[in-house]
Amino acid sequence: MTVHYADTSAWVKLIYIEDETDAMLDHLEEGRTAGGRFVSSELLATELHRTGRRLGVSAAGVRDALGELELVLPTHETFVAAGQLSGEVLRALDAIQKNKQVSRGTL
C-alpha cells in the first residue's frame, strides 16, 4: 500500500476551489483507486479549520475533507526532532509536519 503525505496547502484545494483543485481531486482518486492512503499530522485539522474559517468554508465542509485522510498525533520525539531540522526558513509547523513524514519512514 502506498502512503501519501497530505500537506495542508494541498488539502485546502478540497475545501476551496483553486486552480489546482481538479488536479488534487484527480490525485486523490488515483491514490484511492490504487489502494493508497493519505496521512498527515493532527496539525492539519487545526490548520484546515482555521483556513476554512478565513475563506468562509463551513465546518462541515472541512470535516468532509478531513474524512479523506488519516491523521496521526505527533510524539514528543517528533516535536524535538522537528526543532533540530536544518533550514533557517523552515517554520515550526512545517518542520513538525515534515519531521512526522520523515520519521514514519513510509511517507
Identify whether the C-beta of residue 3 lies closer than 8 Å to the C-beta of residue 34: no
Contacts of 6 (CB under 8 A, 6+ apart): 38, 39, 40, 44, 69
Q: Give the residue, 104 or 11, on which the prediction is more confident.
A: 11
The mean per-residue pLDDT over the stretch 4-23 comes to: 93
Q: How many CB atoms neighbour CB 76 within 10 A?
A: 7
pLDDT of residue 69: 92
Tens-digit pLDDT profile for residues 38-97? 988 888 999 999 999 999 999 999 999 999 999 988 888 888 988 998 888 888 888 887
- Phi and psi at residue 34, in whole multiples of 5°? -85, 5
* Packing angle of the helix pair 59-66, 43-55 (nearest 10 deg): 150
Q: How many CA atoms lie within 13 A of 42 on its CB side?
A: 6
Whole-number pLDDT of residue 101: 58
